[in-house]
Amino acid sequence: MNKKQLELCLTGADLLNGHMRGLERSLDAAIKRKDVPAVEVGLDPLVHIAGVLVRKLAIESGTNGAAAFASVVSRCDPDFAEEYAILESLLSVVIDGGVPGQITCNTALLAIAAQEVAANAATLIAERAGEHPNKVVGELPRLLKEQDPSVQLTDDASAMTALAAYAFDPAMAESRQWTADAVARLTGRVADETYTVARSLHESGDLNAGLAYSGLARVTMTATTLSAGVLGMIADKNHYSWSALLRQVVECEYLLWKFSVAPGEIMDWLKSSREEREARWKPSRLYSDEDNDFRRKDYSLHCEFGGHPTPDGTLAAGQILSPEENAVQSANGYTHLLQHLHSVFEYSVAAADGLDGLHSHPATIPNEVRTEYAGVVEAHLKTDRFGPATAHFSDPIP
C-alpha cells in the first residue's frame, strides 16, 4: 500500500476497534451526535478496512474475494442490501487489481454498511482461528504497518492483468511520463530558488542562514539529479539501474522529511562528521523515527530490487523482457519515482517554509511553483490508474 492507502486502513482499523469496543472514536458515536463531517471522513477508511478484511478472509479460507464477501454479507444487517451491492462492486474491482470509478451514494449508509462488512469479516476470521474478534481487529495496525501479506487488498495474479492494461494505455503512459518530467523539473526549481536565497544571505553576511538554505538546496538538487538519471534509464529500459538510482532518491526523501519537521537541524547535518551521520542521519535511523510513516519494508525492497545484486534484481539487469513486461516495468519506474518525488517536492517546500519562518525571510518558493505543482498532480490523478492500482499490493513493487 502507498502512504495514503496505509493511512486510510489504519484509520479504518481504529474506527472499527471503536465500534467493536463501544468507544467514543467510532462511526456509531459520530452518528449519535449527528456529526456529519466525521461520518463523511469515516467512509473511505471503513471501506478500505472492509476490503482488507474481506481479502484476509479469502486468503485464510482458501477461497476468492467474491465468495468471501458473500459469506460476510449473509451475516450482515439486511437493511443495507443496496449499500452492500455498491460495496461488492467496489471491492470486486479492487480485488481484481482495478481502480474503481466515482460513485454516488448516501455517505452515512455506505459507511454503516462498510462497518457491518468489516465487523462480520473480522468475526468470521476470528471463528476460524478460535480467537475473539477484538483480537483480530486489535492486530490490524501491526499487520498493516509491517505490510504483512495477509493484509493485501487484491489478488496478485488478477492485478498483474489489470496493471498490464493500464501500462499499455497510451493516455495513461503519456500522463505518467509527462508528470514525472514535470515534477522533476519543479523540484529542480525548488532547489534553484532555495540556492538563490542561500547566495543572497551569504553575500549579505548572514552566513549561518545562508548555509542552512544551501544545505537544503543541495539535498533537493541531489534528488532532482538522481531523478533525471532514473528517467533516462526508464526510457532506455535499463530497469535494474533505475531501481538502483531510485533507492538514492528515497534516501534524499528521508533526509528532506527530517529537514521539513526540524529545519533548525539542517546545519547539524551540514556540519556533521561521518561518525555523527552514521549515528543520527543514515536512512535506517530516519525511517525508524516514530514521527513519520515511512515503511521499513519499502526501503528494503528498493535494496532488494535495485540496491544489491540479488536473484530478483539480477533478473531485471540481464533478462530479455517481452514488450508487455517492459511496458509494466517502465510504468513501475515512472510510478514509483513519482511516489517518492512527490514527497521530495513537498518536504523540500515545507523545509524552505520552515527556514523562512526561522530567519524571518519572505517566502522562498513562489506561489506559481506551488500552483503549477498542484495542477500537475490533479491532472495526473484524473488520467492514470496504474499508480492507484499498484497501491493495492501489500508491497510497493509488484
DSSP state letters, 224-272:
HHHHHHHHHHHHTT-HHHHHHHHHHHHHHHHHHHHHHH-GGGHHHHHT-
| Alpha carbon 63 to chain centroid, angstroms | 28
**Dihedral class, residue 62 (left if φ above 0, else alpha if ψ from -120 to 50, else beta):** left
CB atoms within 10 A of CB 166: 25
Taking the C-alpha atoms of residue 271 and residue 214, their distance in angstroms, rounded to an integer, is: 12
Q: What is the pLDDT of residue 287?
A: 58
Q: What is the pLDDT of residue 285?
A: 60
Residue 223's nearest CA partner among 196, 189, 199, 175 is 189
| Total residues belonging to the chain | 398
Q: Cβ contacts of residue 41 below 8 Å, gap of 6+?
A: none
Q: What is the pLDDT of residue 328?
A: 82
Q: Could you tell me the three cell numbers for 124? A: 468470521
User: Under DSSP, is residue 64 helix (H, G, I), strand (E, B) or coil?
Assistant: coil
Q: State phi, psi for 358 to the nearest 5 degrees.
A: -65, -35
Q: What is the pLDDT of residue 116?
A: 96
Taking the C-alpha atoms of residue 352 and residue 350, their distance in angstroms, rounded to an integer, is: 5
Q: Are the beta carbons of 50 and 117 closer than 8 angstroms?
A: yes
Taking the C-alpha atoms of residue 48 and residue 41, their distance in angstroms, rounded to an integer, is: 12
Q: What is the pLDDT of residue 301?
A: 58
Rounded to whole angstroms, what are the CA distances from 51 to 95, 140, 202, 365?
8, 13, 54, 40
Q: What is the pLDDT of residue 315?
A: 62
Find where cell 452515512 sits. 108
Taking the C-alpha atoms of residue 384 and residue 26, their distance in angstroms, rounded to an integer, is: 34
CB atoms within 10 A of CB 184: 24
Taking the C-alpha atoms of residue 316 and residue 239, their distance in angstroms, rounded to an integer, is: 6
DSSP assignment of 338-366: HHHHHHHHHHHHHHHHHHHHHTT---SS-
| Average confidence (pLDDT) per 10 residues, the chain, 398 residues | 75 95 93 90 91 90 86 92 89 64 78 95 95 94 85 65 80 93 97 97 93 96 96 90 88 90 90 76 60 52 60 63 79 89 95 96 97 95 73 34
Q: Could you tell me the three cell numbers for 112? A: 454503516
**Dihedral class, residue 77 (left if φ above 0, else alpha if ψ from -120 to 50, else beta):** beta
In the chain, where do the E strands start and end?
none
**Dihedral class, residue 237 (left if φ above 0, else alpha if ψ from -120 to 50, else beta):** left
CB atoms within 10 A of CB 86: 20
Please, what is the Cα angle at 306 between 250 and 218, to 5 degrees? 35
CB atoms within 10 A of CB 317: 14
Taking the C-alpha atoms of residue 84 and residue 91, their distance in angstroms, rounded to an integer, is: 10
